[in-house]
Amino acid sequence: MVKIKDLPDAEFVQGSYACAGCGGILAVRLALKVLGPETVIVTTPSCLLGVTTFYPQLAFKVPCVNVTFPSTAAAVSGVVAGLRRRGKKGVKVVGLAGDGGTVDIGLQALSGAVERGDNFLFICYDNEAYMNTGVQRSGATPLGARTTTTPVGSLGRGEERPKKDMLGIVAAHNIPYAATASIGYPQDYLSKVQKAMQVEGPAYIQVLSPCPPGWGYRSDLTVKLARLAVQTGQWTLAEYENGRLTVKEIANPRPLREYLAPQMRFAHLLA
């Protein structure tokens, strides 16, 4: 278990152009505190690439390999093989992608890399839509959510399909380690990151990362919503390890309204 007090002072991403209250950059900042300086990031055009590696504002203090949208995990495989050839042991290679870059356009590459058994960690910072391009729905958008491509109108009721079960898909590859997490539960999240990076072979973490402009809420509520998502049963803290799936039980779920009410994307459901 990671102890918050033992996390390093060092920041490995700072000065990004992420929006105020961005859950995604918080997820990355925290993960890097566990991963440490011997880490290589591989990422794709997404909010993350745009806010951390756009000249003249380069915010990472670790190497970052940018690649095309479908290719995070494929480039990861190349970096892993190249570092092995160069005899660079102990360097962790971490693929970072949003939900679109993971469950939609990046799915094939991720499936390939996991199936090959390459030694890497893939973190999907899940903000439940294509935020960088202006809040279009993705395969990870939850049922009922209003996005710019699932608008609410006389016929439209928001997203019509439930969220894709990405953990199930990854687990079906017999991956050594996979988990879902939330930035609202940092100790749980970071303990999973630590476990994942110690695994020999592929590991996958999908971390719920609320997005103030995309979800339509006040920027100070990011962590609170990440917590409420779990407390209301809209997000599970699950772990797939040695072929077994365990899910953190929520003894007394809070009313769903508490999670939905602060978010514009669900406003039509409560009207």
Partner 1 sequence: MLAESDLRKGPNLATPLLSTTTGSWRLVRPVLNTERCNNCLICWLFCPEGCFTRGERVVSLDLDFCKGCGICVAECPREALALVEEGISDARLSER
Partner 2 sequence: MRAYLNGNEAVAAAVKLARTEVVAAYPITPQSTIVEKIAEYIADGSMEADYIRVESEHAALAACYGAAVTGTRVFTATSSQGLAYMFEMLHYVSGCRVPLVMAVANRGLAAPWTIWADHQDAVACRDTGWIQLYVETAQEALDTCLQAYKIAAHPEVLAPVMVCLDGYVLSHTEEIVEVPDQETVDRFLPPYRPEYSVDTRRPYVFGVGTGPDLYPAFKYNQQQAMLKAKEVIKEVERDFQAHFQRSYGGLVDPYYCHDAAVVLVVMGATAGTAREVVDELRRQGEAVGLLRLRSFRPFPVEDLRAALSGAGVVAVLDRDCSFGYEGVLATEIKAALYDLREKPLVTGFTGGLGGRDIRREELAGIFHRCLEVVRCQDEGTGAVLNGYWQK
Binding site for partner 1 (CB under 8 A): 4-5, 7, 9, 11, 13-23, 25-26, 29-30, 53, 55-61, 63-64, 183, 186, 212, 218-224
Tokens for 211?
Answer: 């997005």
Q: Is the CB of 7 or the CB of 250 nearer to partner 1? A: 7
Total residues found in the chain within this entry: 271
Binding of partner 2 by 89 (CB under 8 A): no
Judge contact between 72 and 97, C-beta under 8 A.
Answer: yes
**How far is Cα 150 from Cα 157, in angstroms, rounded to an integer?**
8
**How far is Cα 122 from Cα 204, in angstroms, rounded to an integer?**
5
* Binding-residue pattern over the window 55 to 84 for partner 2, x denoting contact by CB under 8 A: x--x-xxxxxxxxx-xx--xxxxxxxxxxx
Q: How far is the CB of 188 from partner 1 (least distance, A)?
A: 13
The footprint of partner 2 on residues 113-132 (CB under 8 A) is: 115-116
Cα–Cα nearest to 173, from 128, 196, 204 = 204
| Residue linked to tokens 């990004």 | 16
**How far is Cα 54 from Cα 73, in angstroms, rounded to an integer?**
21
Q: How far is the CB of 222 from partner 2 (least distance, A)?
A: 24
Binding segment for partner 2 (CB under 8 A), chosen from 48-56, 142-150, 181-189, 254-262, is 48-56
Select from 18, 34, 42, 269 the one that contacts partner 2 (CB under 8 A).
42
* Rounded to 5°, angle at Cα 14 from 189 and 183: 20
Q: Give the footprint of partner 2 on this chain (CB under 8 A).
A: 37-40, 42, 49-50, 53-55, 58, 60-68, 70-71, 74-86, 88, 91, 108-109, 111-112, 115-116
